[in-house]
Amino acid sequence: MSTDVGSTPGRRRTQEERSATTRRALLEATIDCLVEEGYANLTTTKVAARARVSRGAQVHHFPTKATLVTEAVQYLIGQVSQSLFSEVGQLPAGQERAGRALDMLWQTFRGRLFQAALQLSMAGPADAEIEQKLTVLNQVTADLIRGSVPLLFPEEASHPDFEDALYTAINTMTGLALSQRVAKVSDAEIDARWRRTKAQLLKLIEPREASTGLSE
């Protein structure tokens, strides 16, 4: 991934721009190492090499492994949040919206944020700082999803049973993503499982005005 910050050709970058570029390179490299190799195998030396940054620069910006990892996760949350809310405007209106919104959430669960959280959860209680940050990460992620619900599902969100149905959907997505990572289920099989699961989830979250009308 390019670490260019969009400076104008021919203009020398400021110290702040160079510093931001270095930080972003280190954070991106940290996330990649965390997802691919796990927390136990992640070292600041590997991160610096992957980011093509000197060890001195790495230590200057992030003195410890824990600081590097926790800052990287916060950076990733910001990326996911920005991406999620920017994509909401591309969702269609009408009957297709709920299905597309579920697909959007599913891609979030398959992405680097979930994988990073999973790797951190495997760090275990031996690292108290990471365990504390993981708790915060889980809460922030839940708040992110909860905050996006009215935008993703404007028609369904007011239904009294919708919240329970949505958390069923989220738990299902978590299980599918976990099975792909841990059980090494193929992409093709996961996609097939998701299509079947989404069909069932849509039955749970769609408004029930028709059935309500029959009961009155």
Residue ranges per structural domain of the chain: 65-208
Mean pLDDT in residue range 162-178: 82
Residues in the chain: 216
Reading the block at residue 8, the tokens are: 């104008």
* E strand or H helix at 35: helix 15-37
Angle at 157 between CA 154 and CA 161, to 5 degrees: 155
Q: Residue 3 pLDDT > 50, yes or no?
A: no
Reading the block at residue 22, the tokens are: 């270095």
Please report the DSSP string for 70-106 in residue order. Answer: HHHHHHHHHHHHHHHHHHHTTSPSSTHHHHHHHHHHH
pLDDT digits (tens, 9 = 90+) for 39-60: 888 899 999 999 999 999 999 9
Q: What is the pLDDT of residue 214?
A: 37
User: What is the rounded radius of gyration, in angstroms, for the C-alpha atoms of the chain?
Assistant: 20
Which SS3 state, helix, strand or coil, does residue 142 take?
A: helix
Reading the block at residue 213, the tokens are: 């009308």
Mean pLDDT in residue range 26-43: 89
**pLDDT band for position 71 (50/70/90)?**
confident
CB 202 within 8 A of CB 98: yes
pLDDT digits (tens, 9 = 90+) for 99-144: 998 898 888 878 887 778 777 776 655 566 667 767 777 777 777 7
**pLDDT band for position 82 (50/70/90)?**
confident
Angle at 16 between CA 15 and CA 20, to 5 degrees: 115
Q: What is the pLDDT of residue 216?
A: 37
- CA 9 – CA 164 distance, rounded (Å): 52
> Which residues, including other chains, have CB under 8 Å from residue 186's CB and lie 6 or more apart?
none
Q: What is the pLDDT of residue 125?
A: 54
More confident residue, 117 or 212: 117
